[in-house]
Amino acid sequence: MHKRLIAPLFTWTSSVMVCAVLILGSIPYAAQGAPPDVITSIKPVQALVKMVTGNLATPGLVMPANTSPHLFTLKPSQAKLLENADVVFWIGPTLETTLQGPLKNLSDEAVVIELLKVAGLDLLELNDKHDEGNDDHDHGNVDPHIWLSPSNARILIDAIAATLSAVDPNNAPDYAHNAKKAKQRISISIRKTKAFTKEMRPTAYLVQHDGFGYLAREFEFNLVGYIQTMPGREPGARHISKLLDQIKTKQVECLFHESQFSPKLAKRLEDEVGISVREIDPMGIYLTMTETTYVRIIQGIIVSMESCLFPRQSGKLIKGQ
């Protein structure tokens, strides 16, 4: 379903980030040693940035975790957060579409980082062959759900640390230390999760929408399709017929719907064909924000999936992270 996108979008190094910050304007808070006002678009991005800022600060959040970025509408209070930001981290316009205009209108001194353009990411392309023939929603060819690949998350940590160190050099040693610790924590999580998920891999499953390719690739899961051709929009009869055929021919046992969307179609398929439905949360709705939140988001998804793909008596995943 997914194809690898090989070419990097641009080269990213600490020296490049320093130049970018100098071009974008002066940094009055750096001289005082206070961390900049950092705002993030979605909770997984906030969690990655928190791993780098550590005890220095907790970055702000524009989009509540219980709202899909695909369907989000910006409120005045949220627009104010962006207006006052020194640094903004977001995935990019193919995910947080409604942020494009507000971000373009920020002051020249604001540093805006589009994480989807970080060089070195191992990107996937979305399956753009939608049966419904809708052309009014341009999700782009590149799958923007990059945080669902812990390997990509390690690369994002470096880019976040480079950005914050360039903007806030007085606290650069802390950012570097926190980034090193964060990458170690993510690497341990990858290794232990791969061992934990070994028995889960053969079981075929469906997801809510085409946004879980990175997770499937990372842990070698048997993802065979999705129930919504466009996030938040119920599919037509043709796609539902295709789903029913997939469930039968590929012996699909599980369907994972997202907390941010209605489970209506998932429940319908559960009733009609007996497929097991579980909820997964790619945003970490109920998790408090700490340096371990990102890892716990991934763990939460895996544990929810395990309850269907390979149920066992103990669903506890990885401790001490």
What pLDDT is recorded for position 249?
A: 94
Residues of the chain with pLDDT > 90: what percent? 62
Whole-number Å distance between alpha carbons of 259 and 80: 27
Q: What is the pTM of this model?
A: 0.85
What pLDDT is recorded for position 131?
A: 40
What pLDDT is recorded for position 232?
A: 64
Residue 320 in this model has a pLDDT that exceeds 80: no
At 196, the pLDDT band (50, 70, 90 cuts) reads very high
Asked which of 6-10, 158-162, 239-243, 252-256 is least confident by mean pLDDT, the reply is 6-10
What pLDDT is recorded for position 6?
A: 33
Contact of 99 with 74, CB cutoff 8 Å: yes
What pLDDT is recorded for position 33?
A: 66
* SS3 at position 161: helix
Whole-number Å distance between alpha carbons of 221 and 238: 26
| Residues 6 or more apart whose Cβ sits within 8 Å of residue 150 | 186, 189, 190, 193, 218, 298
User: For the chain, how far is it from start to end, CA to CA, in angstroms?
Assistant: 32
What are the structural domains, with CATH classification, of the chain?
A: 3-192 (3.40.50.1980), 196-309 (3.40.50.1980)
Q: What value does the CA radius of gyration of the chain take, rounded to a whole number of Å?
A: 20
Residue 312 in this model has a pLDDT that exceeds 90: no
Task: Name the one residue in this structure whose structure tokens are 């470096």.
Answer: 158
